[in-house]
């Protein structure tokens, strides 16, 4: 089972000073900042997934997340050099897709098959996914002949027609990447019918899209129906799905790869599960910058509290955490500083028991990843991109270990 991590230009600055919170003035982001696979050993994933929408944008958004110079550099250098895929302890693969979530509200996908093939081939991808139009609804009792399914049928048909054209162009051009067709559906039966058609076209690698909102039991129901029509050599890729506890079950249904940002994003998007440990998660310790927290800035502007007082309590909380990490103060003293500062900007949520749990367990001290070993308690502090992304990288490390454990694979594989 291969895990692909979707790229969104997430890197960390190795020159970042956690005490002064300053960077090297001569730092060049693309040259100096590091990807997760350059920081962690072994790499926590088998490859990257890069979406055309992220790189080039769409007609409605006009631009993606890449700057003009970054986009030109990717096309000029190729994906392997741009992402430095050979710089980690193991070489990685790269997969491309169109980023259907970015244009879900449009009538028709904004890219032609020719544009997408050119993108994959020009950037030197190992795998390329056909153009698709996502279906978010899941209604297993609705038949394709029902009026309610008209839009879903339309999107599925568009996806299959584009997959057929994608296959023809790839075959005629003798491309250097392996093509994947996309199956979209709204029920187990509709997914199965899409897989039948994709196999008829010639695909033996098929990406299953639109399953992100589904519950695990619904994903398994779809895989069971797909399994009944699957050719013996057809392999599936799950788009946007992790569900680590179900990895062995997915593998039993012909799933050989998946992609997900969940472990990374939970580091700074989740309310509770911010830091992964082998068998559980911990909440991160929130110490936001005074000038970067909207609630705190509003209280300062209204005159409820002074900016000087807020900055003093912010510095005190950070200092106490570092003293705790050096075993100079106990949990209670550290918790007091944290909660005193939290009261200025988060008067509704009481995280005392969660913070105590994190501090008493000190999970960063027993983690074997290079992030925790190098920055210590800074990794568990919820504050700014450099700490939050490092915690996300740590989560990828732990998630990768979980996947290998689920599959019974040695960590060195």
303 DSSP 8-state letter: T
Contact 36, 5 (CB under 8 A): yes
Output the six-digit token pair for 68: 């003009």
The rounded radius of gyration (Å) of the Cα atoms in the chain is 23
24-31, long-range: CB < 8 A, 24+ apart? 30/70, 30/73
Sign of CA dihedral 398, 400, 406, 408: negative
CB 351, CB 283: distance < 8 Å: yes
**Known catalytic membership, residue 32:** no
Q: Give me the helices (H) in 67-215, please.
A: 68-77, 79-82, 113-123, 150-173, 188-201
Q: What are phi and psi of 233, to 5 degrees?
A: -105, 10
CA distances from 174 to 122, 171, 183 (A): 13, 5, 23
Question: Contact, 196 vs 234, CB < 8 A?
Answer: no
CA–CA dist 322, 242 (Å, integer): 34
Report angle CA 345, 11, 274 to the nearest 5 degrees.
Answer: 40
Q: Which of 97, 126, 132, 325 is catalytic?
A: 97
List all residues 6 or more positions away from 277 whose beta carbon is below 8 Å from its beta carbon: 361, 363, 367, 398
Q: Please report, to the nearest 10 degrees, the dihedral formed by the alpha carbons of residues 95, 3, 410, 223 taken in order.
A: -120
Query: Is 259 tagged catalytic?
Result: yes
CA 67 to chain centre: 20
Using the Cα atoms of residue 286, residue 289, residue 290 and residue 294 in order, give the sign of their dihedral: negative
Supply the residues annotated as catalytic.
97, 259
């Amino acid at each position: 089972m291969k895990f692909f991590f979707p790229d969104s230009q997430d890197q960390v600055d190795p020159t970042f000073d956690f005490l002064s919170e300053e960077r090297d003035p001569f730092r060049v982001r693309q040259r100096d900042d590091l990807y997760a696979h350059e920081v962690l050993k072994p790499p926590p994933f088998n490859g990257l997934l890069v979406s055309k929408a992220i790189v080039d944008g769409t007609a409605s958004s006009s631009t993606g997340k890449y700057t003009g110079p970054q986009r030109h550099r990717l096309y000029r250098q190729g994906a392997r050099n741009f992402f430095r895929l050979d710089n980690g302890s193991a070489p990685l693969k790269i997969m491309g897709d169109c980023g259907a979530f970015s244009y879900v509200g449009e009538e028709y996908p904004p890219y032609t098959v020719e544009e997408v093939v050119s993108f994959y081939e020009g950037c030197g991808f190992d795998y390329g996914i056909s153009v698709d139009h996502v279906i978010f609804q899941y209604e297993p009792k609705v038949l394709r002949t029902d009026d309610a399914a008209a839009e879903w049928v339309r999107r599925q048909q568009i996806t299959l027609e584009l997959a057929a054209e994608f296959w023809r162009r790839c075959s005629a051009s003798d491309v250097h990447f392996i093509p994947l067709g996309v199956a979209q559906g709204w029920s187990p039966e509709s997914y199965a019918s899409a897989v039948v058609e994709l196999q008829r076209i010639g695909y033996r690698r098929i990406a299953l899209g639109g399953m992100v909102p589904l519950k695990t039991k619904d994903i398994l129901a779809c895989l069971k129906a797909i399994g009944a029509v699957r050719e013996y050599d057809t392999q599936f890729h799950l788009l946007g799905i992790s569900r680590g506890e179900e990895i062995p079950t997915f593998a039993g249904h012909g799933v050989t790869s998946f992609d997900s940002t969940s472990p990374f994003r939970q580091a700074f998007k989740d309310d509770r599960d911010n830091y992964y440990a082998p068998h559980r998660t911990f909440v991160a310790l929130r110490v936001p910058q005074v000038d970067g927290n909207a609630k705190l800035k509003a209280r300062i502007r209204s005159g409820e509290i002074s900016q000087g007082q807020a900055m003093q309590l912010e510095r005190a909380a950070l200092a106490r955490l570092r003293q705790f990490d050096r075993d100079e103060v106990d949990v209670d003293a550290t918790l007091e500083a944290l909660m005193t500062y939290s009261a200025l900007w988060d008067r509704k949520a009481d995280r005392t028991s969660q913070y105590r749990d994190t501090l008493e367990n000190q999970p960063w001290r027993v983690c074997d990843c290079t992030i925790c070993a190098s920055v210590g308690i800074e990794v568990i502090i919820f504050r700014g991109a450099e700490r939050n992304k490092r915690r996300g990288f740590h989560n990828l490390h732990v998630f990768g270990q979980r996947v290998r454990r689920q599959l019974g694979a040695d960590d060195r594989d």
